[in-house]
Amino acid sequence: MNRGSSPKAFVLPGEYRRAAENLFPRDGFSRGHKPDMKAVSEFAKALGIGAEYQRLLSLDRNSAEIKNFLERFQINLDLLIQKTWVEKSDERRKRKLQDEVPLFMDTIEKGIFQGAIKEFGLILEELAYLFFGAQCEKEDFTEYTFRIDAQMGLFWWYGGKLASLKEAVPAGNPDQKPADKKAADYRPDDKFLWAVLLLGICYLTNF
């Protein structure tokens, strides 16, 4: 599903391109390409979840309302997974994804947002496979989903871009520099990582 680095990457429609590239710069993250919270809000509007997203983002992450919202997200995501039809040979893959969701929720609850970004990206890759089968592994997957529905296509494009955020954050030693020099000057903070995670969570909760 991650087609962002491919030389044949789908060119986003003009009405979405500015919001998308403000959040996920075409040349990757660096001090010179550091997105702000405004970029996240613009992307939420492009996804069609602007008002609900802004309301949720303004709440304390430990509030009862956010906890209730995350519970609703988990229930809805589990229902989405259950309702997908797969070949018998893929049933095990489907059950494995269901088992991964509570681990993802636990990572969010603990405030480990770097880990949550990685886990959410993997969950979306598996969910794309359940929805679209082998089509999600093709070079034209983003274009394919845009033809079905533009905002849904933008969501799957977002899912493929989460890995670029993970790569911008060095693993292990906080003083360790990433291999990519362009990313070396930029390390997203928890506030920004939570905001990016909330985009996908909010979209799927209302899917």
- Domain assignment present for residue 110? The answer is yes
> Does residue 67 belong to any structural domain of this protein?
yes
Residue type, 133: G
Bigger pLDDT: 37 vs 186: 37
Is the pLDDT at 179 greater than 60, yes or no? no
Beta bridge partners of 30: 33
DSSP letter, residue 5? T
Residue 4 lies in a domain: no
Assess if residue 5 is contained within a domain: no
Asked if residue 2 belongs to a domain, the reply is no
How far is C-alpha 75 from the chain's CA centre? 18
How far is 204 from 201, CA to CA, in rounded Å?
Answer: 5
Interval 184-204: pLDDT, tens: 456 678 999 999 999 999 999
The CA R_g of the chain, rounded to the nearest whole Å, is 17
Report residue 178's pLDDT band, with 50, 70 and 90 as the boundaries.
Answer: very low
Cα–Cα distance for residue pair 184/95, rounded to 1 Å? 38
- Is the pLDDT score of 180 beyond 70? no
Mean pLDDT calculated for residue range 32-44: 84
Measured distance CA(145)–CA(152) in Å, rounded:
7
Is 1 among the domain residues?
no
Range of the domain at 149: 14-205
| Cα gap 135→71, rounded to integer Å | 30
Amino acid at 183: A
pTM, entire model: 0.84
Assess if residue 56 is contained within a domain: yes
pLDDT in tens, 60-98: 999 999 999 999 999 999 999 988 877 777 788 889 999
CA 43 – CA 47 distance, rounded (Å): 6
- Whether residue 32 has pLDDT greater than 90: no
Q: How would residue 7 be classed by pLDDT, with cut points 50, 70 and 90?
A: very low
Residue showing tokens 């996804």: 47
**Number of domains present in the structure of the chain:** 1
**Does a structural domain hold residue 9?**
no
Burial (CB count <10 Å: 0-12, 13-18, 19+), residue 175: exposed
Structure token digits, residue 135: 């089509």
